């Protein structure tokens, strides 16, 4: 039995949800998001909450039950609070700056890396060694942060590279003579 799927998703004030077929659309102060569920679950909108129930007892139905509930909860959280990922740049000469809709990264390559900011995501650079990715879609925010981090992953010897703010880099000791 799904422990996550059993909980109803509460709808805070200012957030409305509508269901058409298997697609649920959530509107809130930050925008509108939608999610299409599979045939294995049934979504119902009650008084101030959304409940998800499985259709049958198959393994796939039970898997989709918890996943669908979590996706709906992410929609509600996205349109009310939004999501945020913070990246930190470590290394001598490594820095970032935002020019219009392009994030310019200097990461020790012979050229600057130009990363175009996709639609639906806001990127800010409070310091030249910090990057903040914000948006209402959790998947998109995480993917954009991962794409930026991919340009120079942190290495274990000196810790140089782009890492998440709360990420721990396992450090290794260098060669000894």
pLDDT digits (tens, 9 = 90+) for 28-50: 999 999 999 999 999 999 888 99
What is the tens place of the pLDDT at every residue in 125-136? 999 999 999 999
Last residue of a domain, one of 56, 80, 104: 80
Residue 2, pLDDT > 80, answer no
Boundaries of domain holding 50? 3-80
Q: Is 96 exposed, middle or buried (0-12, 13-18, 19+ CB in 10 A)?
A: buried
On whether residue 170 sits in a domain, the answer given is: no
- 94 and 47 in one domain? no
The answer to whether 46 touches 11, Cβ cutoff 8 Å, is no
On whether residue 46 sits in a domain, the answer given is: yes
Which sign, positive or negative, has the C-alpha torsion 1, 139, 151, 164? negative
- 108 and 92 in one domain? yes
Rg (CA), the chain: 21
Q: How far apart are CA 9 and CA 31, in angstroms?
A: 18
């Amino acid at each position: 039995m799904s422990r996550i799927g059993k909980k109803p998703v509460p709808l805070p004030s200012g957030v409305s949800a509508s269901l058409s077929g298997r697609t649920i659309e959530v509107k809130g102060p930050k925008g509108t998001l939608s999610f299409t569920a599979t045939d294995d679950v049934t979504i119902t909108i009650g008084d101030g909450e959304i409940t998800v129930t499985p259709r049958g007892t198959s393994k796939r139905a039970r898997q989709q039950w918890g996943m669908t509930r979590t996706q709906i909860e992410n929609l509600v959280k996205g349109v009310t609070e939004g999501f945020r990922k913070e990246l930190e740049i470590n290394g001598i000469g490594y820095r970032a700056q935002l020019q219009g809709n392009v994030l310019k990264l200097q990461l020790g390559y012979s050229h600057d890396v130009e990363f175009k900011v996709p639609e639906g995501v806001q990127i800010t650079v409070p310091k030249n060694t910090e990057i903040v990715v914000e948006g209402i879609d959790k998947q998109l925010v995480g993917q954009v942060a991962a794409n930026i981090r991919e340009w120079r992953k942190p290495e274990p010897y000196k810790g140089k590279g782009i890492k998440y703010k709360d990420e721990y880099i396992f450090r290794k000791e260098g060669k000894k003579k």
